[in-house]
Amino acid sequence: MVVLPRIFGRRRCTGNLEVVSLLITATLCLLVTLQIYLQDKKSQTLREDKILRKQKSEPQTWPDMFLNSVPKCTKNSSASKIQNFSTLPKDIQDFLFYQHCRHFPMLLNNPGKCGGPQNSADVFLLLVVKSSPSNYDRREVLRKTWALERLHSGVWIRTVFISGTTGDGYEKERLNKLLELENREYQDILQWDFVDTFYNLTLKQVLFLEWMERFCPDVHFLLNGDDDIFANTDNMVQYLKGLDDNDGSKHLFTGHLNQYMEPIRQQGSKYFVPVQIHKPEIYPPYCGGGGFLLSQFTSRIIYNMSHSIPLLPIDDAYMGMCLEKAGLQPRHHIGVRTFGLYVPSGQHEAYNPCYYREVLLVHRFLPYQIYIMWHEIHREDLNCTKRTKGNENSEIFMH
């Protein structure tokens, strides 16, 4: 009883010291931990900074002509002196004011799409899909289906979506941001700073051909098409590999052939072209713009010809004009059905995968239909032994 308080007292005394030293140690420990944590955090931010800076600095390696050095193209006000100008629709007037503009700065580029110009012969088929900024859902589904970048039967398929800008002010900024985000994830968008309208599709096409000559000059073949088609790219590779000259060094331009087509002179039509823009009453033969295949050889010639032919607001007919000037003919391919398939009986049969397994291309598909069909035609248990009417498939791979 006597000892206890003493011991207790002593312990209490040392206890105080222990508590104090414990507190000091703890505080020191805390400080050291905090210091380490802060240093860690700092170096992590530095690392992120470096990555960001690296990403940001990439565009600066683009050749000058594709950035700021493109002079802003000015409106040709004297276009309004064209006969009966004031009676023309607003978008045709707009076309005439800016018809001479052929150079626009790039907002998004992928200079390394084909592994650099000198390695671009490694790309067998480049899929070039015209897509305007808001068609996000279409691009998403194409990336998962027929436009998936891949090695197929020993050759490379690569994809670019080509786009201008749409919307005004804030909306335009947001849509540009969307493309930037997509491009960061997939590296598959080429975007120029022009207004993406129907009458500007020829401009888009010519800008692409210019881009290709610079960044992917030795690609063998191109599929040029819209973002609402179903393209059986497996079959396309098979067809192109089967050609006598399958390195793209010979003339090839094939799709759904349109002949003896007349410019539409009715105001109000989507395809309206007044005589002030195109005088002849007939277009040269051309392939429907929904989708066509061409060789590297032919794409270079078309680009070369385009310099001396004023832009026409109808992009596919313009390709025909370039071919005609070069003395080359477009050809019909039975597997390209830009006007849809003729399917004899009803709704159900219209989506019979046996038809789509055999064609090269069909126009006008909704994103979900593309998704389903791509999976259906690749099903291992798909049995197409029973010949379906209207499906003369053996002709498709013959030229």
Ligand X SMILES: *[C@@H]1O[C@H](CO)[C@@H](O)[C@H](O)[C@H]1NC(C)=O
CA distances from 4 to 12, 14, 15, 247 (A): 12, 15, 15, 101
Q: Least Å distance between CB 62 and ligand X?
A: 20
Report how far Cα 27 is from the mean position of its chain's Cα atoms: 59
Q: Which stretch binds ligand X (CB under 6 A): 37-45, 72-80, 243-251, 287-295?
A: 72-80
Helix axes 136-144, 367-377, angle to 10 degrees: 10
84 binds ligand X (CB under 6 A): yes
352 binds ligand X (CB under 6 A): no
Q: What DSSP string runs through 80-134?
A: GGSTTGGGS-HHHHHHHHHTT-----EEE--TTTTSSGGGGGGEEEEEEEE--TT
Q: Least Å distance between CB 386 and ligand X?
A: 5
Within residues 371-390, the interface with ligand X by CB under 6 A covers 383, 385-386
98 binds ligand X (CB under 6 A): yes
- Residue closer to ligand X by CB (options 107, 127) is 107
78 binds ligand X (CB under 6 A): yes
Within residues 282-341, the interface with ligand X by CB under 6 A covers 304, 307
Q: Least Å distance between CB 363 and ligand X?
A: 23
- Residue closer to ligand X by CB (options 84, 118) is 84
Number of chain positions touching ligand X (CB under 6 A): 24
Site string for ligand X, 273-292 (x = CB under 6 A): --xx----------------
Q: Note whether 73 and 192 are within 8 A (CB).
A: no
- Start-to-end Cα distance in the chain: 114
266 binds ligand X (CB under 6 A): no
The CB-side HSE value for 169 (13 A sphere, CA atoms) comes to 1
Report which of 377, 362, 382, 396 is spatially closest to residue 145, judged by C-alpha positions.
Answer: 377
State whether the Cα torsion 147-149-151-157 is positive or negative: positive
94 binds ligand X (CB under 6 A): yes
* Residues near ligand X (CB under 6 A): 76, 78-79, 81-84, 91, 94-95, 98, 100, 194-195, 197, 199-200, 275-276, 304, 307, 383, 385-386
